[in-house]
Structures are given as C-alpha cells and as structure tokens.
C-alpha cells in the first residue's frame, strides 16, 4: 500500500503536535470554569451511568459518539468531586484534557449532525 507524501507529512506533524503536548503538560493543569446547572447535572448523570456492555465493532461515527460520552462522564466526575453548586450554575476546575474534549465536541457534533 502506497502512502502519499501528504500523509507522511501529516504523521510528522502529529509527532510534533504530541511533542508540543508533552511540553505543555507540565505548564498547565486545570482551569476554573462555570457550567449551567443543566449541563453539570447531565455530566454527573453520564458519570453515574453503568455502562457494562462489551464494545463491539464500531463505525467511525459510533466511536466518536462513545468517545464524547466518555469525555462528558469524566467532566461529571470532576463536578461530583469538586464542583461548587451556586444557584443555576456550577463552578468546577476542569483539566485541560476535559476542556479540550468539550471544545472539540462543538465541531464534531456539528459535523455528525450534518
């Protein structure tokens, strides 16, 4: 199988991006954010769900959806552990991985929904 020059460069770019991530990992950890009560409650519900089924073969879309659901559950764990509930909102310190997943989901959901 022939790999095009573009994909060789993309793989090299991915390696550099990973190196940037390794360098940033020690510089940033958590950011304080505010979520609506509704979003925080939905995240906690995702965390508390018991997903015991075996994952079989998945389409790319199914994998993306499951991955985003897992990211939401991890945000729910953070809300459960250290969220401060104030009126109609929740203040919580989220890790950069969770922040990145949530921000990336904006575009992914838009793409999946067409």
Handedness of CA 21, 27, 77, 34 (dihedral sign): negative
Q: How many residues does the chain have?
A: 114
Q: Is position 7 within any domain?
A: no
Residue 103, domain extent = 29-113
Q: Is position 17 within any domain?
A: no
Q: Is position 21 within any domain?
A: no
**Which two three-digit tokens encode residue 105?**
């989901």
Q: Is position 52 within any domain?
A: yes
**Which two three-digit tokens encode residue 12?**
């090299």
**Which two three-digit tokens encode residue 74?**
């991890």
CA torsion, ordered 110, 69, 62, 20, to nearest 10 deg: 70
Q: Is position 22 within any domain?
A: no
What pLDDT is recorded for position 39? Answer: 97
What would the pLDDT profile of 78-113 be if each residue is shown by its tens digit?
A: 999 999 999 999 999 999 989 999 999 998 988 888
Number of domains in the chain: 1
What would the pLDDT profile of 47-78 be if each residue is shown by its tens digit?
A: 999 887 777 888 989 889 999 999 999 999 99
């Amino acid at each position: 199988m022939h790999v095009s020059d573009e994909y060789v460069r993309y793989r090299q770019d991915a390696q550099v991006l990973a190196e940037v991530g390794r360098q940033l990992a020690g510089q940033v950890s958590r950011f304080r954010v505010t979520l609506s009560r509704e979003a925080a409650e939905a995240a906690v519900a995702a965390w508390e769900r018991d997903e015991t089924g075996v994952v079989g073969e998945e389409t790319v879309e199914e994998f993306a959806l499951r991955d985003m659901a897992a990211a939401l559950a991890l945000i729910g764990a953070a809300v459960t552990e250290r969220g401060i509930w104030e009126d109609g909102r929740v203040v919580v310190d989220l890790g950069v991985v969770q922040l990145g997943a949530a921000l990336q989901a904006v575009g992914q959901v838009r793409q999946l929904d067409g």
